[in-house]
Homo-oligomer: A and B are copies of this chain.
Amino acid sequence: MLLLTSIPEMQDYSETQRKHGKRVAVVPTMGFLHQGHASLITIGRQQADTVITTVFVNPAQFGPAEDFEQYPRDLDRDMAVARQAGSDVVFHPEPAEMYPPQYESYVTVEHVSDTLEGAVRPGHFRGVATVVLKLLHITRPDVAVFGQKDAQQAFILKKMVRDLNLRIEMVVGPIIREEDGLAMSSRNVYLTPDERIRARVLFRALRHAEDRLRQGIRAAETIRSELTEMIHREHPSGIDYVAVVDPETFREVPSVERFPILVALAVRFGKTRLIDNVMAEQS
């Protein structure tokens, strides 16, 4: 497996693949790869001849008070995970090459970028959309694979690609969970053993939401308040949101009128912020 670190090298590599008629998939990541990422690489492997995994902790998507500096990094392990999952290349550029001095071009997907994650993390999705557009220009894939764990991000990126007329198939892979249900995340390493146990409530709460929808509950407020109460019992340091969202528009709905419906939440345990969601189908 190849490690490429310069943008022109990556562009040359991808151009050569295309010239040889290879179908190219890209899996953009911030590294510290876990089995969730590996599952996305495997999806890329099934869909394309050449799989590029990008590993880049993107400064543009972190707020000034966020964890850019502490975000966990381990390129050697990332290389091993990516290779084992079937990646042909890891692209790992330096921040200074991605954002040279006088860098000033940004993409925004309006409205949806200001709700839920975007409301709590102003500018976050501008940073995400911008870096992904850059990575798509650099790797020029036929397919790009994202994770459902970051449901709003996947929605925004699909919208960006459609709005900007990029001819790229956007594939969203399912959430991969630990045995006790916690959604895999590079940030899980931040949790203390005690927080790690309390964090199990997120998956329990989401399954509770599915149950209640199956029982015919339609008022979003009922679901929100029941989930909020369940989570509060585990003493989080804060609940950023519990939201019932139409996955077609990513807008919160007062009442569940159609399925599938997305229940999404963001909760802090200690200093660690976790997000999770479930797409509930009509029973």
User: Residues of A with Cβ closer than 8 Å to B?
Assistant: 7, 11, 103-112, 129, 133-134, 137-138, 159-160, 163-167
CB–CB A163/B108 < 8 A: no
Closest 4 CB pairs of A and B: A105-B163, A104-B110, A137-B165, A105-B160
Interface centre among A7, A111, A129, A164 (most CB of B within 10 A): A164
Chain B residues near A11 (CB, 8 Å)? 165, 167
What residues on B are CB-neighbors of A7 within 8 Å?
165
| B contact residues around A164 at 8 Å (CB) | 105, 133-134, 137
Name which residue of chain B comes closest to A134, CB basis: B165
A129 to chain B: closest residue by CB: B105
Please give me the residue from chain B that is nearest to A98 by CB atom.
B165
Compute how far the CA of A160 lies from the CA of B102 in the bound complex, rounded to whole angstroms.
11
Q: Contact check, A105 vs B104: say whether CB atoms are below 8 A apart.
A: no
Q: Which residues does chain B contribute within 8 Å of A138, judged by CB atoms?
A: 165
Q: Name A107's contact: one of B107, B137, B159 (CB within 8 Å).
A: B107
